[in-house]
Amino acid sequence: MLIYPRLETYKRGKLYMTKKLLRLSLFTLPLTIMSIGLAHAEEFSVWKNSFRQQALNQGINAQVFDAAMAGISPIQKVISLDKKQPERKLTFAQYQNNVISQARINQGRALYRKHYALLKEIEAKYGVQPQYVIALWGIETSYGNNTGGYDVVPALATLAWEGRRRDFFEDELINALRILQEGHIQQADFKGSWAGAMGQNQFMPSSFKAYAVDYTGDGRRDIWTTLPDVFASTSNYLAKSGWNAGERWGREVALSRNLDPSLADLKITKPLSEWARLGVTTRWGQPLPTEPNLSASLVQPDGPNGPSYLAYNNYKTIMKWNRSTYFATSVGILADAIVAQ
C-alpha cells in the first residue's frame, strides 16, 4: 500500500531534479561558450601582437597591417574546413564527371575562340598552348565564376593563429599583406577560398609573388578581374615550372596483359619507343607516335582496374600546380576536348 505513494514521490523528485539540471545547464552553457570565445579572443590578440612585429620586420607598413587586421577574429568555419577529412575518396571517374561536364567543355571552346588572339600572343611569350590555360581556368574557378567568397586576410590569419601549419600560413599572410601594400587589390575586393587561394587562377599569395604578371602594364597584377593578367600569370607559372613548349600533356593508352604493374609509377620514366616495345598502344590500339626525344611515365589514377595514361613532362609540370593525379589528368583531358572540334 505504501509502495505507490513513495514511488510517486520518487518520480516527482526525479522530475524536479531533471528540470533543475536542465535549467542550470541552459544557464551555464552560454557562459561556457562565452568563456571559450573570450579565451580564443585573448589568444588571438596575443598572437596578432606578436605577428605584427614579425610582419613589420619583413617590410609591411604599420598602417597597412593595422588597417588590414583591424577588428578581425578567428573564423570558425575556416577552422572546421581545415580540420575536415573527406568522408570517402572519389574514384577518378566520379571526380572527372564533377569537373569535366559537356557544359564546361562547350564553354571552354567558346572562351578559347573568343580570346584566341590574346592567348596566342601570350603563348608566343611563355610557350604554353592556349588550351591548357583555358583548361586550368575552367577547373580551378569554372572560368572565373567561382573564385571563393572569403576575405583573404581574416581567413589566413585564422589558419596562422590556429597553429596547425602556422609557419606556412604566417608566410602566406605576410605575402597577402604585401599584395595590399603594393596596391594590386583593394581590401574590400580581396576575396578567395577559405585557405587563401585567390583570383581566377587561385594563386596562393606566395604563388602570386613568384608568378603573377602585370601583362597590361597598368602597374597592378590583377588576377581577379583582368583576363590578360590571369592568362599571362597562369602561363608564367607553368613556364617557370618546366613546361615544354609545343608538347602535349600525355595520352590515354591501352596496356598489354603481361605488363609489369609496378611500372605504373611517376618516378619511372621511359622513352615512348620503350613503352611501345612493352606492348603499350594508344587507347584505340594504334602504335604510339615515334618521337625519339619524348619520354613518359605510366599513370593509373584509379589503380590497375581504371584507365591508364602515359604522362609526359608537361603532366608533371601541371602537378607542380596541384599534386593530384586526378587534377593533372583532368586538365589534360579538358584541354584535349577544348581543341577537339
In terms of Cα–Cα distance, which of 197, 130, 54, 187 is closest to 336?
Answer: 130
Report yes or no: 243 and 317 within 8 Å, Cβ to Cβ: yes
What are the CA-CA distances from residue 76 to residues 83, 158, 171 (Å)? 11, 8, 21
In total, the chain counts a number of residues equal to: 341
Give me the sheet containing 295-299, strands edge to edge: 270-271, 295-299, 308-311, 250-254, 281-282
Cα angle vertex 268, ends 266, 274, to 5°? Answer: 125
Structural domain range at position 69:
11-85+148-198
The span from the CA of 151 to the CA of 173, in Å, is 12
Cα angle vertex 260, ends 259, 261, to 5°? Answer: 105
Residue written as cell 603594393? 182
* 69 lies in some domain: yes
The span from the CA of 189 to the CA of 5, in Å, is 71
Which CATH number fits the domain that encloses residue 22?
1.10.8.350
State the total domains in the chain: 1
Count of beta carbons in the 10 Å neighbourhood of residue 218: 11
* 237 lies in some domain: no
Instruction: Please give the distance of CA 133 from its chain centroid, rounded to a whole number.
Output: 16
Report yes or no: 155 and 172 within 8 Å, Cβ to Cβ: no
The span from the CA of 320 to the CA of 74, in Å, is 30
* 263 lies in some domain: no
What are the CA-CA distances from residue 85 to residues 80, 88, 89, 128, 302 (Å)? 10, 9, 10, 35, 20
List the alpha helices (DSSP H) in 100-226.
Answer: 102-114, 116-126, 130-141, 152-162, 166-181, 205-211
Return averaged pLDDT per consecutive 10 residues of the chain, 341 residues in all.
Answer: 42 52 52 46 92 97 97 94 77 94 98 98 98 98 96 97 92 98 96 97 98 98 98 98 96 95 96 96 93 92 94 98 97 98 69
List the alpha helices (DSSP H) in the chain.
Answer: 3-57, 62-69, 76-83, 92-99, 102-114, 116-126, 130-141, 152-162, 166-181, 205-211, 227-240, 272-277, 313-321, 325-339
Report yes or no: 212 and 221 within 8 Å, Cβ to Cβ: yes
DSSP letters spanning 219-232: S---TTT-HHHHHH
In terms of Cα–Cα distance, which of 292, 305, 298 is closest to 279?
Answer: 298
* 57 lies in some domain: yes
The span from the CA of 278 to the CA of 56, in Å, is 59
Report yes or no: 148 and 192 within 8 Å, Cβ to Cβ: yes
Q: Taking the model in full, what pTM does it have?
A: 0.87
pLDDT value for 291:
81
